């Protein structure tokens, strides 16, 4: 009975809460019970049950008074990248060990103002750098899904792996994620949930621990497209504290969900048909296109000629920005400071602190970023990458100008792989996970991953839809059609 | 462009990350793998293309030059590994 409550969607819970058929206190208690029983997933890394119960009590009072926004009483998990006042927020890094912010991120503050309930903080790749949740200082997250008939532990994807696993395992109704190169959409695809990366600037980045500031964007990870619309509504909006957050009205995203896409034009980019793409992925993509066609859309081939340069561009720009953003972790103002030896000066303090505090992948990216920004290489690497980024964005502008309303692609090049399976691969092999998602960050566009099928071994597969800037409502409407046509209803067998 | 151990050590120094000498060869190899991947950008013709400065065509907002916050010494120092008498404490910087 309790666990059935946690299976609710945001929309379902909202309606039940408003009708008085359910209390936020009961719903919250059910989630807390599920979380307690799910240590094997390693999704929740900081638990905040007292805060959750207090927020739930307030939400119930608000519901009774009739003043209840859609998110009122909805229990959420929060990615560890979001600063939450008085609650550990350490980006899954040792270097922020013990850090408890004195302030609240704008996105989480908006969610609490809307009455949402915080269950705790969710595991992730360290500083959001990773595609498998294996770079976390808290240890790996385990995907609730398993291949049919096996007990091999699989990755939930990354970097928002804890968020994805928690939503897929019904530990919470939804979770926040962040997406710099695919960190919402790839884990959503690996766990059979919906993940939306909004247009760059739609959600404030203030109080979200920075990775690559020109690419980072927060978004909802949910059990349905409708839930993504409802949750984005509460997260979005201009914030004077983030100068890149857009000062434009936030439309009613849920109202855009008409389910009618007749006459809309969907593009299939031919450059996304990669060599060696698994037949299952190709088939899923074709099936998705057929579903949109059946719904009355026109599906056409398009070209995004600079696609193959997106990953190399990303792996210049993201490390460059990371090396700058992560310079603040110096052992002085917050987090970890290394034990120093007799005679050590401030340089030794910096170097030892950062060597101890950052994991291998973070160190690698900070150093690559340092290199591409260093004297003599700035033009050859960093400026070159920024120019190619202009061309990548122009590719999208061109197809939208030609009348394309949305672009359909696979979300990932494979289903979830085994934890440790990529351990012996070079870093670039892991980076290829983001091949279909990274273009969207470089162009600042909204993108959504929708569960659309299963592979031969029963694992979920996702399709990605890419929309025009600021047209999340329209994008969500296309996603709704895909969701309804795909009818993805599978759920992982409970083994944890 | 291939990175040798000396360059790897220099980059580590610039990044203020201590790397033990015996770890430098592996680090240099990883840099070379990643930089080899990035080299593909050399194929792209970017003549006359402006480097992107902002992904959305927006002017950064300005605000009035007034104090909006302050008097937060306790909060500012609350997370410091070593804070004394209202200051951050660090090892001796000047002799």
Measured at the CA of A430, the angle between CA A428 and CA A433, to 5 degrees, comes to 115
The nearest alpha carbon in chain B to A354 belongs to B17
Tell how strand B87-88 and strand A460-466 pair up.
Answer: unpaired
- Is B90–A349 a contact, with Cβ atoms under 8 angstroms apart? yes
Nearest to A10 by CA among A254, A355, A321: A254
Tokens of A479: 């996603």
Q: Report the distance separating Cα A409 and Cα A399, nearest Å.
A: 15
Question: Does A307 reside within a domain?
Answer: no
Nearest to B51 among A345, A364, A386 (CB): A386
Question: Does A389 reside within a domain?
Answer: no
User: To the nearest whole angstrom, how far is the Cα of B34 from the nearest Cα of chain A?
Assistant: 6
Q: If you ran DSSP here, which 8-state letter would residue A270 be given?
A: G
Tell which of A94, A310, A341, A351 to mutate to test the B interface (max B CBs under 10 Å): A351
Residues B9-63: tens digit of each pLDDT: 999 999 999 999 999 999 999 999 999 999 999 999 999 999 999 998 877 778 8
Q: Report the distance separating Cα A243 and Cα B40, nearest Å.
A: 33
Nearest to A338 by CA among A135, A89, A97: A97
The nearest alpha carbon in chain B to A393 belongs to B55
3-state helix, strand and coil shares in percent for chain A, rounded to the nearest 5: 40, 15, 45
Question: Does A95 reside within a domain?
Answer: yes
Sheet holding A174-179, edge to edge: A44-47, A117-122, A75-79, A174-179, A217-222, A194-197, A447-454, A460-466, A406-410, A265-269, A298-302
Q: Phi, psi at residue A449, to the nearest 5°? A: -105, 130
Question: Does A131 reside within a domain?
Answer: yes
Tell how strand A174-179 and strand A194-197 pair up.
Answer: unpaired
- Is A240–B61 a contact, with Cβ atoms under 8 angstroms apart? yes
Q: Which residue has the higher pLDDT, B94 or B27?
A: B27
What residues of B are in contact with residue A433 (Cβ under 8 Å)?
Answer: none
User: To the nearest whole angstrom, how far is the Cα of A19 from the nearest Cα of chain B?
Assistant: 42
- Is A330–B16 a contact, with Cβ atoms under 8 angstroms apart? yes
Question: Does A128 reside within a domain?
Answer: yes
Question: Does A240 reside within a domain?
Answer: yes
* pLDDT in the model for residue A26: 98
User: To the nearest whole angstrom, how far is the Cα of B22 from the nearest Cα of chain A?
Assistant: 14
Tell which of A355, A440, A470 to mutate to test the B interface (max B CBs under 10 Å): A355
Helical (H) or strand (E) element with A227: helix A225-235
* pLDDT in the model for residue A15: 97
What residues of A are in contact with residue B13 (Cβ under 8 Å)?
Answer: 351
What residues of B are in contact with residue A200 (Cβ under 8 Å)?
Answer: 55-56
Nearest to A334 among B34, B72, B80 (CB): B80
The nearest alpha carbon in chain A to B55 belongs to A444
Domain that holds residue A24: 2-261
The enclosing domain of A181 has a CATH number of 3.90.1300.10
Count of CB atoms within 10 A of residue A169's CB?
26
> CB of A246 within 8 A of CB of A470?
yes
Tokens of A225: 């497209």
* pLDDT in the model for residue A479: 98
Tell which of B18, B53, B82, B86 to mutate to test the A interface (max A CBs under 10 Å): B18
Q: Which of the residues in chain A have pLDDT under 70?
A: 1-3
Helical (H) or strand (E) element with A165: helix A161-168
> CB of A52 within 8 A of CB of A28?
yes
Residues A78-98: tens digit of each pLDDT: 999 999 999 999 999 999 999
What residues of B are in contact with residue A244 (Cβ under 8 Å)?
Answer: 54, 56, 58, 60
Question: Does A28 reside within a domain?
Answer: yes
- Is B90–A346 a contact, with Cβ atoms under 8 angstroms apart? yes
Number of Cβ pairs < 8 A linking chain A and chain B:
169
Count of CB atoms within 10 A of residue A314's CB?
27
Nearest to A240 among B41, B44, B63 (CB): B63
Number of compact structural domains in chain A: 1
- Is A102–B55 a contact, with Cβ atoms under 8 angstroms apart? no
- Is A346–B37 a contact, with Cβ atoms under 8 angstroms apart? no
Band of pLDDT at residue B1, cut at 50, 70 and 90: low
* pLDDT in the model for residue A2: 55
User: To the nearest whole angstrom, how far is the Cα of B33 from the nearest Cα of chain A?
Assistant: 7
Active site residues of A: 79, 159, 183
- Is A391–B53 a contact, with Cβ atoms under 8 angstroms apart? no
- Is B11–A367 a contact, with Cβ atoms under 8 angstroms apart? yes
Nearest to A332 among B19, B75, B90 (CB): B90
- Is B46–A387 a contact, with Cβ atoms under 8 angstroms apart? yes
Question: Does A25 reside within a domain?
Answer: yes
Tell which of A89, A98, A199, A390 to mutate to test the B interface (max B CBs under 10 Å): A390
């Amino acid at each position: 009975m309790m666990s059935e409550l946690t299976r609710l969607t945001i929309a379902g819970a909202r309606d039940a809460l408003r009708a008085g058929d359910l209390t936020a206190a009961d719903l919250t208690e059910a989630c807390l019970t599920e979380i307690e029983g799910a240590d094997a997933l390693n999704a929740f890394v900081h638990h905040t049950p007292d805060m959750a119960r207090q927020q739930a009590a307030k939400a119930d009072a608000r519901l009774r008074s009739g003043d209840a926004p859609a998110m009122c009483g909805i229990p959420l998990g929060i990615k560890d990248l979001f600063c939450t006042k008085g609650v550990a927020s350490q980006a899954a890094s040792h270097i922020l060990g013990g850090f408890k912010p004195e302030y609240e991120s704008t996105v989480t503050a908006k969610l609490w103002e809307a009455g949402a309930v915080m269950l705790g903080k969710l595991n992730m790749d360290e500083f959001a750098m990773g595609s498998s949740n294996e770079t976390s200082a808290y240890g790996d997250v385990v995907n609730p899904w398993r291949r049919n008939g096996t007990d091999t532990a699989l990755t939930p994807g990354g970097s928002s792996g804890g968020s994805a696993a928690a939503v897929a395992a019904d530990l919470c109704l939804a979770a926040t994620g962040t997406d710099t190169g695919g960190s919402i959409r790839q884990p959503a695809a690996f766990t059979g949930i919906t993940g939306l990366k909004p247009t760059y600037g739609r959600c404030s980045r203030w109080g979200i621990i920075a990775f690559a500031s020109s690419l980072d964007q927060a978004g909802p990870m949910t059990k349905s497209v409708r839930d993504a619309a409802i949750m984005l509504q509460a997260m979005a909006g201009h914030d004077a504290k983030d100068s890149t957050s857009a000062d434009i009205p936030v439309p009613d995203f849920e109202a855009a969900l008409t389910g009618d896409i007749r006459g809309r034009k969907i593009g299939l980019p031919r450059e996304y048909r990669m060599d060696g793409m698994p037949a299952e992925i190709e088939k899923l993509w074709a099936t998705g296109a057929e579903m949109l066609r059946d719904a009355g859309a026109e599906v056409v081939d398009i070209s995004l000629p600079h696609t193959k340069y997106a990953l190399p561009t990303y792996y210049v720009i993201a490390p460059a920005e990371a090396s700058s953003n992560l310079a603040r972790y110096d052992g002085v103002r917050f987090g970890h400071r290394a034990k120093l030896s007799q005679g050590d000066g401030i340089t030794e303090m910096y170097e030892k602190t950062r060597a101890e505090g950052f994991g291998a992948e973070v160190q690698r990216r900070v150093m690559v970023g340092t290199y591409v920004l260093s004297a003599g290489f700035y033009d050859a690497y960093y400026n070159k990458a920024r120019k190619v980024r202009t061309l990548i964005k122009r590719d999208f502008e061109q197809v939208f100008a030609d009348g394309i309303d949305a672009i359909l692609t696979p979300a990932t090049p494979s289903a979830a792989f085994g934890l440790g399976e990529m351990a012996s691969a070079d870093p670039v092999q892991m980076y290829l996970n983001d091949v279909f998602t990274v273009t969207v960050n470089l162009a600042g566009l909204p993108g959504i991953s929708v569960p659309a099928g299963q592979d031969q071994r029963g694992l979920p597969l996702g399709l990605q839809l890419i929309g025009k800037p600021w047209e999340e409502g329209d994008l969500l409407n296309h996603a709704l059609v895909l969701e309804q046509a795909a009818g993805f209803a599978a759920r992982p067998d409970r083994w944890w | 462009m291939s990175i040798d151990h000396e360059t790897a050590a220099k980059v580590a120094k610039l990044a203020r990350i201590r790397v033990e000498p015996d770890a430098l060869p592996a680090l240099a190899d990883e840099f070379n793998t990643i930089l080899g991947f990035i080299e593909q950008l050399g194929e792209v013709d970017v003549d006359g293309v402006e480097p992107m400065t902002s992904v959305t065509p927006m002017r950064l907002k300005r605000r009035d030059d007034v104090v909006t916050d302050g008097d937060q010494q306790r909060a500012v120092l609350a997370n410091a590994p070593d804070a004394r008498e209202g200051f951050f404490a660090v090892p001796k910087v000047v002799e």
